[in-house]
Structure 1
């Protein structure tokens, strides 16, 4: 994502965040936005219509209102329709990502992707959450477990743009780089 797209998406996300924080609906708004993002990203026809320059703003807004109807709250709907008014519909998904970052920061939560060779138990996920939450100074980590057979063993944890690689394949790669550099 370019810096311009990121900064524009961040402004819309920040405005929405301020509105919903004041009325205490951060979690509900995040859930609604994740649904909006999923619908837009999973539906190629909708994405094509939203990005088509010959389809009028009125038609795009009408379509989005029909698609999401009463599924989303007024602040979310207003933000999305405002983005369409200003020809920023291609940035809706980026705005959702920026909103989630703001909401997570407010709650002291971070999202983590944990790569492992097998599905981790709830206890293992909680232990990883606790350990890495302390390392990145947040109250809690929401862990998503992804299976990656290439790791051979161990885990790799991705939190934002930080990666903690404790996998066997990662260790072997580090050893290989050391041997080559000597």
Structure 2
């Protein structure tokens, strides 16, 4: 999570409004796409933070660029523009993501494996490890890492569960050398 108090306030307002409208999941999906757009196009944030353009012109640009976006998200972007807080947009999105996950009982997890996981494997990992971290389910991002040799390494927040073959071999090597 971010350390920005401002981002937390905007994200909280966005989250509360999306909950009132029953659109939390939809807003969260769209925010993930917007996060990608802002991360891949650093010029976009610079353009919207630039003093060269009036707030009205910036709003027109946002409305044109994100014409298909949910009105709740568009209005949040307009509020950020009005408050000259566009530099906080990615932090607001990250905070919203955390709030939505917490409300839904979901945790984000990275699963490192030597090959893509099947749906059955992903569901099994989610079911097994979600309860260990006090959540109902995990949103899994599968990352291919051939250096593991076999098995998986799971990262949920700052917790790591490593059952990879490379980790087991390293442990065995430490035990043999240490004896």
The question of 1:92 aligning with 2:103 is answered no
Contact 2:2/2:91 (<8 A) preserved? no
In structure 1, C-alpha distance between the alignment counterparts of 2:123 and 2:102, rounded to whole Å: 20
The answer to whether residue 35 in structure 2 is matched with residue 13 in structure 1 is no
Q: Do the aligned partners of residues 2 and 21 (structure 1) sit closer, same or farther apart at CA in structure 2, a change above 3 Å counting?
A: closer
TM-score, scaled to structure 1: 0.86
- Check if 1:138 corresponds to 2:166: no
Count of residue correspondences: 179
User: 1:52 offset after TM fit, Å?
Assistant: 3.4
Q: Which runs of 5+ in 1 are unaligned?
A: none
Structure 1 vs Structure 2 CA RMSD: 2.3
Deviation (angstroms), 1:47: 3.1
Equivalent residue for 2:147? 150
State the Cα deviation string for residues 80-127 of structure 1 (Å, max 9, x = none): 111122222122112111111111111111221100011111111111
- Match 1:27 to one of 25, 28, 45: 25
Q: In structure 2, what is the Cα distance between the partners aligned to 1:181 and 1:126?
A: 38
Q: Distance in 1 between matches of 2:77 and 2:174?
A: 48
* 3-state DSSP of counterpart to 1:24: coil
- Structure 1 position 180, deviation (Å): 8.0
For residues 87 and 181 of structure 1, the distance between their equivalents in structure 2, rounded to whole angstroms, comes to 59
2:101 to 100, 104, 108: 104
